[in-house]
Amino acid sequence: DTAVSQTPKYLVTQMGNDKSIKCEQNLGHDTMYWYKQDSKKFLKIMFSYNNKELIINETVPNRFSPKSPDKAHLNLHINSLELGDSAVYFCASSPLAAREDTQYFGPGTRLTVL
Amino acid sequence: SQKIEQNSEALNIQEGKTATLTCNYTNYSPAYLQWYRQDPGRGPVFLLLIRENEKEKRKERLKVTFDTTLKQSLFHITASQPADSATYLCAYYNQGGKLIFGQGTELSVKP
């Protein structure tokens, strides 16, 4: 049983295009996250939703727009892709948004912008 | 600013030895520290959580310590195996509720 799934696994696209990454969790968790992992392997939070409400919105260009249609899904839409957007994007979920919460990560989406 | 530092250099050890990974943090005193494992091409997987009032936590061959005076956590894998080869990340939630990660230490266990 897949706990946190993301599609697609790989995404190769041209600069200037718009693309979306989808995420679903079947753990019944209330909170979902998007992270970006750059080439230096740093994992940085981008957004967090709790029960479909945005609770964390890091300093991310407005070209990135998350959408949570329900608490099991969190999608990431990126407009006007740039070379610097190339990275691995991870979706994650946790039961609540508490400081003891462990997070469950998806397999990642490797985005390459040419 | 808040920072977590882990050994950026890879750690190479022989099978059967104990691997010790270090996590140092500055400018914040987290109540909990977490350790994750990340394999190439995969997402991080949670391993252990330690609270500030716990000096040590164990799970099978894994042991984590938390020294709030030194602002340091140590992660030990005893009787290491090649299957333990991975990148290990430490993390804590900051006061804004964000999980902050170190850059990870890559461990390679040679047979």
Give the pLDDT confidence of A50-70 residue by residue, as tens digits.
988 898 888 889 999 999 999
Amino acid, single-letter form, for residue B38: Q
In sequence order, the 6+-apart residues with CB closer than 8 A to the CB of B40 are none
Chain B interface residues facing chain A, Cβ-Cβ under 8 Å?
A: 30-32, 34, 41-46, 49, 87, 89, 93, 96-99, 101, 103-104
Strand A19-25 versus strand A73-78 pairing type: antiparallel
pLDDT for the residue A72:
95
Please tell me the distance from the alpha carbon of residue B14 to that of residue B110, in angstroms, as a whole number.
5
Is residue B29 over pLDDT 90?
A: no
Residue B65, Cα to own-chain centre: how many angstroms? 10
In sequence order, the 6+-apart residues with CB closer than 8 A to the CB of B23 are B4, B5, B6, B33, B35, B72, B73, B74, B75, B90, B102
Test mutation, A30, A96, A103, A104, chain B, max B CBs within 10 A:
A103
Please tell me the distance from the alpha carbon of residue B95 to that of residue B9, in angstroms, as a whole number.
29
CA distance B11 to chain A (A): 16
Q: Where does the pLDDT of residue A1 fall: very low under 50, low under 70, confident under 90, or very high at 90 and above?
A: low
By residue count, chain B amounts to 111
Per-residue DSSP letter, A59: S
Structure tokens at A9: 């696994």
> Which residue of chain A comes nearest to B93, CA vs CA?
A99
Structure confidence by residue, pLDDT tens digits, B32-90: 999 999 999 999 999 999 999 998 999 999 999 999 999 999 999 999 999 999 999 99
